[in-house]
Structure 1
Amino acid sequence: MKFSTSNAKCSSYSGKHVIYVGTHTGSFKKLEPFQDDPYRQTNLQPIETLDKTSKVTCMEFGNDEHTEILLGRANHYVKVFNSDSEVTASSFEAGNGEVVGLGRSNGCIVAGIDKGTVKIVKYPETTEFSVGENLAKLRICRGDQNLMVTGGKNLKQIIKVWDLETQKVTFAAKNVRKDMLELEQPVWENDILFLDRNTIASCSRYGYVRVYDLRGTQRRPVQNYSPPDDQLSFTCLAGHERYLYAGTTTVGTRAFDIRKMKNHVHVYKGFTGTVTSVGLDATGSYLFTSCLDRYVRVHNVLKTAMVYQCYVKSKPTRILCTEYKDRVVEAEEDDDLILVEENEKDEVDSEYEDLFAKMQTVKEKSATKKRKMESETHSRSKPKIPKKKRNNE
């Protein structure tokens, strides 16, 4: 599909995906590209309730079935959205600042604020602890929900892995070697994620993508991509198996192989602004992106071709994708329903039975009606003699 500024969908795009979009104005939308109208946008929250501080800053799925969406906003509120019933299940105030990270850990909601406060919301009490200022991102490990990774701006917010049970650091990354002037390399971890329980990836505003291994004693990155010539700035990150996908501010999205990261392996084009969020489907065949040019796009991962784009009116900040599932409507049980057994015999009313015995049967009634119709037909067929002719005779 060629680059265009209008809504478009390629005929080869046959996936049944549901795309959730959070925007700069605070609106929360749903797109279903496989429907008859692939560009129809469903607002999942009333627009009247939004204001200038309602910007969506974080979105994550709360469970593996993708029926729960955790929505964080710039006004430090967190909302739990049920995607099946499409209603807000609950909401709470996470703290004083923007929500930069959300996740589920053993049934509890973990929320991170940009000022460095992490809140574990559980009943009957809530636990809070500090991870340092200038926090940019927080994520929970899907393989082990007791592990949390944080990262942000400046050297104090370099990659750290936390144990949520003890609220202590289990792994702290080490910066790369100093430059030729013996100066520390600048650190700004803009996005981080767990590739698996023992591998972490990060991307930076300063133009690097790094991979860390938690199993060994080495705290420096085991893979590092840092182009010497290009002035890149990475904004968001997603991963599937051994591939990383990083959005940039100028040149779209790039794909990397974590086994050898000296150069990128794919470039996904068609953007005219900063890529704010990236995501992948369960098979890793399609790449979903949101951009500040107000478009949501879908690319074929292997062919790097854009197969879908939709104008969403507001600047999208976060995007989530899941497979479409048919809703199963369960029948409600009726408490007033009375079941009658077939073997049960009702009492016989003699007068009621006599009334039916005296009634004419259907066969007799139809036979009588038939004889009556034949007689009428015979009388009509007999010729009539005029009165004058009778007198002459």
Structure 2
Amino acid sequence: MAAQRCHVWVGAETGILKGVNLRRKQATNFSEFNRGQEISEMCWRQNQVLLGCVDGTVKVFSTERGEFTEFHDCSGGEGPFRGLAAYNSSLITCTESGLLKVWKEDSTDQVQVGRGVCRMRQDPGRPERVATGGKENDLKVWDLQRLQEPVFKARNVRNDWLDLRVPIWVRDIQFIPASDTIITCTGHSQVRIYDPSCPQRRPVLEMTYDEYPLTAMSLTSDANSVVVGNTHGQMAVLDIRKGRLLKCLKGQAGSIRSIQCHCSLPLVASCGLDRFLRVHDTGSKELLHKVYMKSRLNCVLLTSRESWEQEDEECSTAEEVKEQGEEDEIWASMATVTDRAESKRTADLQVTPKRRKRRKQMSKDA
């Protein structure tokens, strides 16, 4: 299967990059089994998929050529990658130990963002900015051109009703388009919205979903809702304008590792420990696709709308050609009325006089 026809890309614990064609329910491996190169992070760079592996290497896969074209040694820090991004010709990596690095062609800039990082996320609207957060490491926003100090540093919420400090555990981060607003989900089931323009630096909105740690999150295409998933395989759509639950997306059977909503279609893809890739319709809650991938999955990426529409057109054309061919075969196998009449006359002529006399006698006796 050509790499251009893949709707979804997933990275596995076994180090395998898998491309999935949802219409045909086919999954293709584009790399070999290598558990030492477990894929922990993935991101897009134009028509390339960047893969961050646990051994500190970043591999570049070309979806046009269907092969790996570049390999970069981005080792440094401790633990696996918790974030991977591209800015101009540079690579941005962040490890679990909190070492954020900007890998330029001739130099490297780095800063310590704090230990226990769970996620680094790039702002799509302003790619020179990234946000970091983790366990006892609250939300920070960094400018890649000035890494000395964060441009925004969140404050913890006030103590609870027992006057006890609320623990911090940022698990995922998203930037809301066309604004400075940032949304996070935590390991304590909270979804929080921050507005850096507010001087208090605390969440301006907080909501809670279920009781289990949230592990992944993604904004819907209209940016009015967010899809969250937790360690028990529960996934839901939350309204970030009113702070309420809209709907639940069912079908998962294990901890969710990665969620991504399509940028322009009402679709959301999810994967995790149950080895299944699932695609839901965020409007109708319907489970549209479910593909078994054989390996535990860490991350998922959706392709652009153009590739989906191109594949649909190709499949529609192929179906039309197939249907036309089947119709032609049916018409070719059918005999015309003229042929049947002619065959009957031919059969009558082949009857011998003796057999004709016997038929006439049988009709008289009847």
TM-score, normalised relative to structure 2? 0.78
Aligned with 1:132 (options 114, 117, 127): 114
Instruction: Please name the residue that 1:6 is paired with.
Output: none
Aligned with 2:38 (options 37, 55, 59): 55
How far apart are 1:110 and its partner, in Å?
A: 0.5
Instruction: Please name the residue that 1:93 is paired with.
Output: 73
Instruction: Please name the residue that 1:366 is paired with.
Output: none
Partner of 1:53, secondary structure, is helix
Aligned with 2:21 (options 32, 44, 47): 32
- Partners of 2:110 and 2:71 in 1: how far apart? 18
How far apart are 1:181 and its partner, in Å?
A: 2.3
- Partners of 1:163 and 1:283 in 2: how far apart? 28
Matches within 5 A, 1:1-393: 18-34=7-23, 38-47=24-33, 50=34, 52-63=35-46, 67-94=47-74, 95-96=76-77, 97-154=79-136, 157-167=137-147, 168-196=149-177, 197-226=179-208, 230-240=210-220, 241-261=223-243, 263-323=244-304, 325=307
Q: When you count helix as a share of all residues, which structure comes out higher?
A: 2
Change over 3 Å in CA distance of 1:143–1:74 after alignment to 2: same
What is the CA RMSD across the aligned residues, in angstroms? Answer: 1.7
Change over 3 Å in CA distance of 1:17–1:201 after alignment to 2: farther
- Partners of 2:134 and 2:45 in 1: how far apart? 23
Q: Which runs of 5+ in 2 are unaligned?
A: 312-366
Decide which structure has the larger Cα Rg and report it. Answer: 1
- Partners of 2:204 and 2:69 in 1: how far apart? 42
- Tell me the number of residue pairs that the alignment of Structure 1 and Structure 2 aligns: 298
- The aligned amino acid for 2:10 is V
Change over 3 Å in CA distance of 1:249–1:104 after alignment to 2: same
- The aligned amino acid for 1:302 is G
- The aligned amino acid for 1:126 is T
How far apart are 1:251 and its partner, in Å?
A: 4.7
How far apart are 1:17 and its partner, in Å?
A: 6.4
Partner of 1:160, secondary structure, is strand
Same amino acid, percent of matched pairs = 29
Instruction: State the structure with bigger RCO (CA 8 A, min sep 6), 1 or 2.
Output: 1
Partner of 2:36, secondary structure, is coil
How far apart are 1:20 and its partner, in Å?
A: 0.2
Q: After TM superposition, what 4+ stretches of structure 1 lie above 6 angstroms from structure 2?
A: none
- Partners of 2:29 and 2:274 in 1: how far apart? 19
- Partners of 1:195 and 1:88 in 2: how far apart? 32
Instruction: Please name the residue that 1:350 is paired with.
Output: none
- Partners of 1:246 and 1:204 in 2: how far apart? 10
